[in-house]
Amino acid sequence: MDTIFSIVNAACCALISMVILGAILSPRVHDGIVIKIGLISLAAGFGAIALLMWEGPSPTQVRGIERALLLINSGIAVVILGFLWRRATTRHPVRRTSDWADLDTHPTAERP
């Protein structure tokens, strides 16, 4: 029974790793350098867990799983920090004073 759980966990982690790799390589995903580094860390961590779990449970895997979880946790932190940094540095939707008033009544509007 433990072998079945290990194989299912390995397959799920491998699938997650492949989906993240697809997001890394896809030109449609607009991520920056920081978020991409976090995604690479996540893909490596899930890939490492998939490889470790494929063999089945053993007491010597603990150190490897701890290191893989460190990659996953640091990747999540980097992705969150990159998202927050991108969110804080992007321009706000209101950039001009004319966005707040009608163009006809604004003092800088051209008059014929």
Report pLDDT for 25. 94
C-alpha 66/C-alpha 71 separation (Å) is: 9
Report pLDDT for 78. 97
C-alpha 112/C-alpha 104 separation (Å) is: 11
Report pLDDT for 106. 56
- Helix axis angle, 62-89 to 33-54, nearest 10°: 160
Nearest by Cα to 32 from 107, 92, 96, 88 = 88
Classify 14 in phi/psi space as left (phi over 0), alpha (psi -120 to 50) or beta: alpha
Report pLDDT for 58. 73
pLDDT values of the chain reduced to their tens digit, one per residue, 112 residues: 678 888 898 999 999 999 999 999 999 988 889 999 999 999 999 999 999 888 766 777 888 889 999 999 999 999 999 999 988 887 766 556 555 566 566 566 555 5
> Alpha-carbon dihedral of residues 41, 47, 48, 52, nearest 10 degrees?
160
Please give the structure tokens belonging to residue 85. 């940094």
Please give the structure tokens belonging to residue 27. 């030109």
User: Considering the entire predicted model, what is its pTM?
Assistant: 0.75
